[in-house]
Amino acid sequence: MFEQVSAAPPDPILGLTEAFKTDPRPEKVNLGVGVFQDDEGRTPVLKAVKAAEAALLAAEKTKNYFPIAGEPEFGRKVEEFLFGEAAVPGARTAQTPGGTGALRVAADFFAEISQSRRVWLSDPTWPNHRGVFGAPGLAIQPYPYYDAARRSVNAGALADALDKVPAGDAVVLHLCCHNPTGADLDAEQWKTVSEIAARRGWLPIFDAAYIGFGDSLEADRAPLRPFLDAGVEMLIATSFSKNFGLYRERAGALTLVAPARAADAVFSRIKRVIRVLYSNPPAHGGQIVQTILSDALLRQVWRDELNGMCARIHAMRARFAEGMARRAPDRDFAFIRAQRGMFSFSGISAAHVAWLRSERAIYMTGDGRINVAGLTPQNLDYVCDAVAAALRTERGG
Ligand SMILES: Cc1ncc(COP(=O)(O)O)c(C=O)c1O
């Protein structure tokens, strides 16, 4: 049987990391992969995480299974993290293996309850969305999102398209730090989208993978507010991979917001999906998040570290934009400063991307997406010089 099986295509982003690792050139720079890096190019364990782990190790008494949705206290802390202090009566939260796990549970749950079995994804979007939502057989439709010429959200086309999405369909919305473009909606545009969702009756599925990386915890979660205020039902897939630096621990959560009287019944369906997917969540990463969010001191340490990561991203955006303005004044890179999160579409063509990789050992995805957190004070001038040199070549235009 296995003799006939052909190989799967390599994952475009993880494949890039493999190629980067085996590149022998010491000056190499990885702007491809989606992890935060500090000024030294490392992805360290946060101090708050180390302290929480020490406390957990000392206190742990059992490795017994968790409930299907994880511990209720974890859910409460996540809901506070998303909505603030005031409880949302129709909210229920399941601890999941990372943000991807939360998205997959959302996809399977939606496939089970929906008549249309159709989900709308932003164009472009994180490539894995297509795989995750396609897995349970959902039909996938793109909605317009990015205006490449203006390097920002095409809010008019977006609103027009979402106004035509049929009731009962699902729409995946990046809460903040849109991956791959770095272009987010502003408060007014979010309000418009929430009004459309309320009027049309489609289901928003928020992908919240970067809360705290855009402007701040409070600012980045703010788009949820108009949806809550309008009484819109929704699902929120939260990842703690980036904002707690817990990548390999697989910490995430799926939050349901339903009418309060229906919430338990709906949540029981989500639990059934989890039971057949992975039965119950891995404990460690979620317990770290819960420990930090439950302890005022640890919470403050983590907030300071999160703010530090966010500030570094902003600083690198500003310095890259300045560096390019000096070296390639005829090209616009100012938008890099205005965009949010780790990613931006640099506007660099596929041919220039290939040139940067072969001639300068600088790695980015073929669409020109860069992870600005891969920039450091040490490699910034090297990268700016290389991009300017690439733009001067004939290749790619
Ligand atoms: C937009 C988006 N959603 C979800 C995820 C998944 O996060 P996790 O690693 O927690 O599964 C990522 C990770 O890169 C992402 O960029």
| 273 Cα–ligand 1 center, Å | 20
C-alpha angle with apex 146: 144 to 148, nearest 5 degrees? 130
Residue 206: name the closest of 171, 253, 157 by CA: 171
Write down the pLDDT at residue 13: 78
| 210 Cα–ligand 1 center, Å | 8
Confidence band (pLDDT; 50, 70, 90) for 15? Answer: confident
Q: How many CA atoms lie within 13 A of 82 on its CB side?
A: 32
* Euclidean distance between CA atoms 338 and 160, whole angstroms: 25
- CA-CA distances (angstroms) from residue 350 to 128, 357, 368? 20, 11, 7
Lining ligand 1 with CB less than 6 A are 34, 98-100, 126, 174, 179, 207, 209, 239, 241, 252
More confidently predicted of 177 and 15: 177
Which tokens belong to 43?
Answer: 């992805």
Domains of the chain, start order:
11-44+311-390 (3.90.1150.10), 65-294 (3.40.640.10)
Which tokens belong to 163?
Answer: 């106004």
* Euclidean distance between CA atoms 24 and 33, whole angstroms: 18
Is residue 190 part of the annotated active site? The answer reads no
Residue 215: name the closest of 310, 90, 332, 97 by CA: 310
| 231 Cα–ligand 1 center, Å | 27
Closest ligand 1 atom to residue 101 Cα is 11
DSSP three-state, residue 332: coil
Write down the pLDDT at residue 394: 64
In 230-334, which residue ranges form alpha helices assigned H by DSSP?
A: 263-277, 284-294, 296-327
pLDDT of residue 334 exceeding 80, the answer is: yes
Beta-bridge partners for 234: 257
pLDDT of residue 391 exceeding 60, the answer is: yes
- CA-CA distances (angstroms) from residue 259 to 91, 268, 357? 8, 14, 51
| 221 Cα–ligand 1 center, Å | 16
Which has the minimum average pLDDT: 32-41, 107-116, 208-217?
32-41
* Euclidean distance between CA atoms 281 and 34, whole angstroms: 23
Probe residue for ligand 1, chosen from 239, 248, 250 as the CB with the greatest number of ligand atoms within 8 Å: 239
Residue 107: name the closest of 139, 74, 81 by CA: 139
> What integer is the mean pLDDT of 106-120?
98
Is residue 355 part of the annotated active site? The answer reads no
| 218 Cα–ligand 1 center, Å | 20
Probe residue for ligand 1, chosen from 11, 13, 78, 241 as the CB with the greatest number of ligand atoms within 8 Å: 241
Annotated catalytic residue within 126, 190, 202, 355: 126
Global pTM value: 0.96
Indicate the average pLDDT of the chain: 96
Q: Exposed (0-12), middle (13-18) or buried (19+): which is 321, by Cβ within 10 Å?
A: buried
Write down the pLDDT at residue 287: 98
Q: What percent of the chain has pLDDT over 90?
A: 93
Is residue 242 part of the annotated active site? The answer reads yes
Tabulate helix, strand, coil % of the chain (nearest 5).
Answer: 50, 15, 40
Which tokens belong to 64?
Answer: 């017994």
C-alpha angle with apex 354: 352 to 360, nearest 5 degrees? 85
Atom 2 of ligand 1, residue of closest alpha carbon: 209
pLDDT of residue 34 exceeding 90, the answer is: no
> What integer is the mean pLDDT of 323-346?
93
* Euclidean distance between CA atoms 104 and 90, whole angstroms: 21
Confidence band (pLDDT; 50, 70, 90) for 14? Answer: confident
